[in-house]
Amino acid sequence: MSRHSSTLHALSSLFLIGSETDRDAHDALGVVDIVKSVNIAARIHWLGNRADVPDLLRAFDVFAYPSCGDPCPLSVIEALLAGLPCVVWRDGGTAELVVDGETGVLVEKGNIGWLAAAIRTLSENSKLREQMGIDALADPTRLQDAQTAARSLRKALGDVASLR
Domain ranges, ordered by start, for the chain: 3-156
Q: Residue 108's pLDDT is what?
A: 94
Burial 20-37 (b: 16+ CB within 10 A, else e): eeeeebebbeebbebbee
The more confidently predicted of residues 4 and 49 is: 49
Pairing of β 44-48 and β 14-17 = parallel
pLDDT in tens, 82-114: 999 999 999 888 888 899 999 999 999 988 889
Locate the DSSP E strands across 68-122.
Answer: 86-89, 104-107
pLDDT in tens, 128-152: 999 999 998 887 666 666 666 666 5
pLDDT band at residue 73 under the 50/70/90 scheme: confident
The more confidently predicted of residues 37 and 77 is: 77
Backbone φ and ψ of 138, nearest 5°? -65, -30
Measured between alpha carbons, how far is 124 from 117 in angstroms, rounded to an integer? 10
pLDDT in tens, 7-63: 444 556 778 777 666 655 556 666 666 666 666 667 777 788 888 888 888 889 999
- Residues 59, 29: contact at Cβ < 8 Å? no
Amino acid (1-letter code) at residue 86:
C
Backbone φ and ψ of 44, nearest 5°? -110, 130
What is the pTM assigned to this prediction?
0.70
The more confidently predicted of residues 78 and 162 is: 78
Measured between alpha carbons, how far is 117 from 74 in angstroms, rounded to an integer? 24
In 3D space, the residue among 70, 77, 36 whose CA is nearest the CA of residue 54 turns out to be 77
Pairing of β 86-89 and β 104-107 = parallel
CATH topology of domain 3-156: Rossmann fold (3.40.50)
Q: Residue 4's pLDDT is what?
A: 47
Pairing of β 63-65 and β 44-48 = unpaired
DSSP conformational letter for 64: E
